[in-house]
Amino acid sequence: MSGREYPLNTLGLSHRFLAGHIREGMFCIDATAGRGKDTAFLCSLVGESGRVLAFDIQPEAVESTRALLMEKGFSARAQVLLDSHEHMEKYAQAGRVDAVVFNFGYLPGGDHSIYTRPPSSKAAIEAGLRLLRPGGVMSLCIYHGGDTGYEERDALLQYLRTIDSREYTVLLAPFYNRPGDPPIPVFILKET
């Protein structure tokens, strides 16, 4: 795949999926910027003529993402916003986004008392689905475990079953033979 290597983990599977669907000039959203890895990856795929929006509610995440984009020379391709992912429709038009990426859980190396929660996560997925163009894709990584992650995992997995199968295909790719609570990759394709 264009000389890139994808490790056999959740991030690698997500990146492999996205690389198969995103091209130069496309418009993508990183709904949970975190440390900026997905934002930078999306910037590398959309090229100089593409655009990426990234969201996070934590100033530390926004600063970290902006620093990584600056280091990689991607600052002009992306806008990093200090806002909740559930508000992404204020920044993009329905049917105009090529890909939306989520990582649910908490900021790596950050405050574990700040984490994604089922009501805003479900609202953000719904917003992202409305923003996707026909043929657009969504990648979700559900990080779970600890005191709060199981509740969100269960709520999101239940919600994903309700997405209209006439408009979207939802694929789960859990790691069944990995110890502990490995993240759950989910891929959504908008059919119409």
Q: Read off the pLDDT of residues 105-146 as tens digits, 9 standing for 90 and up.
A: 876 888 877 778 889 999 999 999 999 999 999 999 998 877
Predicted confidence at residue 111, as pLDDT, reads 81
Pairing assessment for the beta strands 132-142 and 184-190 based on DSSP bridges: antiparallel
Predicted confidence at residue 148, as pLDDT, reads 65
Report d(CA 40, CA 57) in Å as an integer. 18
Q: How crowded is residue 71: how many other Cβ atoms within 10 Å of its Cβ?
A: 11
Predicted confidence at residue 77, as pLDDT, reads 97
Report d(CA 86, CA 112) in Å as an integer. 20
169-181 pLDDT, tens digit each: 999 998 888 888 8
| Edge-to-edge strands, sheet with 97-104 | 78-82, 51-56, 27-30, 97-104, 132-142, 184-190, 168-172
Predicted confidence at residue 180, as pLDDT, reads 86
Predicted confidence at residue 115, as pLDDT, reads 79
Predicted confidence at residue 7, as pLDDT, reads 67
Cβ contact 99:137 at 8 Å: yes
Residues of the chain with pLDDT under 70: 1-4, 7, 107, 147-148
